[in-house]
Amino acid sequence: MTAFMILILAAAVMLIVIAKIIPGGKKFSMYFVLVCIAFIMLLPFYMMFVMSTHTTNEIYSFPPAVWFGRNLAVNFENMKAAVNIPRAFLNSCIITVSYTALVLLFCSMGGYAFAVYEFPGRKKLFAVLLATMMIPWTAGIIPWFIMMSKFGWINDFKALIIPGCANAFGIFWMRQYCRNNVPTSLVEAARIDGCSEWTIFFRVIAPILLPAYASLGIMQFVNVWNDFMQPLMILRKTELQTLPLLLKTMISDWGTDYGAMMLSSTCAVLPLLIAFLCASKFFMSGLTAGAIKE
């Protein structure tokens, strides 16, 4: 390992020297480092695509394949025979979409109420809400699981959708957005025009909240789509598996067919990755929104 370390150190020293001595070398060094890191970030994705076009024998040969093979169609057939990807995709969609929709509805309602109405006990209730954000959910994981089994929610999507669908973070975040973007005069005007409170919320306020819906929606969607631990505990029937669970089954049951396994990994990763690449700015601001808007 030492030779390799020394090489890396030498490269680093070289880059610093280039940056200091040669005019314009600073730019070169920076690009060099940035591109190297970008290469490392992309490599696993690239290898995943490459390996899903090879046979298992080709994957298990030395040197490893670094360019696309010709076995994609066969891998696809094997994958179709082994697991039900469309079903897992559908399961993932049902859970994620209904969870996200509920989160958006409940959190925007809660956030709006905390931002606009001066109801008695508002401050205290909001403090309670903030305090709940500090509690790590790990503490209740075992009773949570027992509760789910007592409710008969093992092997039921409800266990993954309902418990978290009105979360404190979402309400807090929506409240911040409402405070900055919903003018109280607008609410007053709608009230004078004779709108009921529910109409005001769904017809007047909800359209204003669209950007906030998009950010919060992306955040929740990505997290739930990729979640592994909770589905692992809850969904024990093959036909109910989400995509990450299906991958896990493939490793334990079909671990011998690596090409098909890589292809199913690709299938699990690709939908979100494409969506991300199409609207990366949107995703990044959505996913990090909670961290930046304090």
Partner 1 sequence: MAKIKTERNIWAGIKKYKVAYAYIAPFFILFAIFGIFPIAAGFYISFFRWDGISAMHFIGIENYLNLFKDTLFWKALGNTLIIGIIAHIPILLGGLALAYVLNSKLVKGENIFKTIYFMPMVTSSVAITIIFQNLFGNNYGLINYILSFFGEEAVNWLGGNGSLIKAAVMVMFAWKWIGWNMVIYLAGMQGISNDIYEAAKIDGAGHLRVLLSISIPLLKPIIVFTVIQSSIGMFNLFTEPFILTNSSWTGGQNNGGLTLMMYLLNKAPQGGTAYGYASAVAYVITVMIILISLGVYKVTGERETGKRRENK
Distances (CA, A) of 278 to 59, 135, 281: 31, 36, 9
Shortest spacing between CB 282 and partner 1, in angstroms? 11
User: Of 33 and 82, which CB lies nearer to partner 1 in the complex structure?
Assistant: 33
Shortest spacing between CB 241 and partner 1, in angstroms? 11
Shortest spacing between CB 74 and partner 1, in angstroms? 19
User: Of 14 and 251, which CB lies nearer to partner 1 in the complex structure?
Assistant: 251
**How far apart are the C-alpha atoms of 210 and 160, rounded to whole Å?**
25
Shortest spacing between CB 159 and partner 1, in angstroms? 10
- Which region holds residue 152: left if phi is over 0, alpha if psi is between -120 and 50, else beta? left
User: Of 44 and 86, which CB lies nearer to partner 1 in the complex structure?
Assistant: 44
User: Of 59 and 212, which CB lies nearer to partner 1 in the complex structure?
Assistant: 59
User: Of 74 and 232, which CB lies nearer to partner 1 in the complex structure?
Assistant: 232
Shortest spacing between CB 187 and partner 1, in angstroms? 12
Which H/E stretch holds residue 158? Answer: helix 158-161
**111-114: long-range pairs with CB below 8 Å, 24+:** 111/170, 111/171, 111/172, 111/173, 111/174, 111/175, 111/176, 111/177, 111/178, 112/174, 112/175, 112/178, 112/182, 112/201, 112/205, 112/209, 114/171, 114/175, 114/178
Shortest spacing between CB 67 and partner 1, in angstroms? 13
Cα angle vertex 251, ends 50, 56, to 5°? Answer: 40
Shortest spacing between CB 73 and partner 1, in angstroms? 21
User: Of 74 and 125, which CB lies nearer to partner 1 in the complex structure?
Assistant: 125
User: Of 40 and 192, which CB lies nearer to partner 1 in the complex structure?
Assistant: 40
Locate 279 and state its tokens: 């609207």
Four-point Cα dihedral 27, 33, 36, 40, nearest 10 = -140
Cα angle vertex 85, ends 79, 91, to 5°? Answer: 160
Coil/strand/helix, residue 22: coil
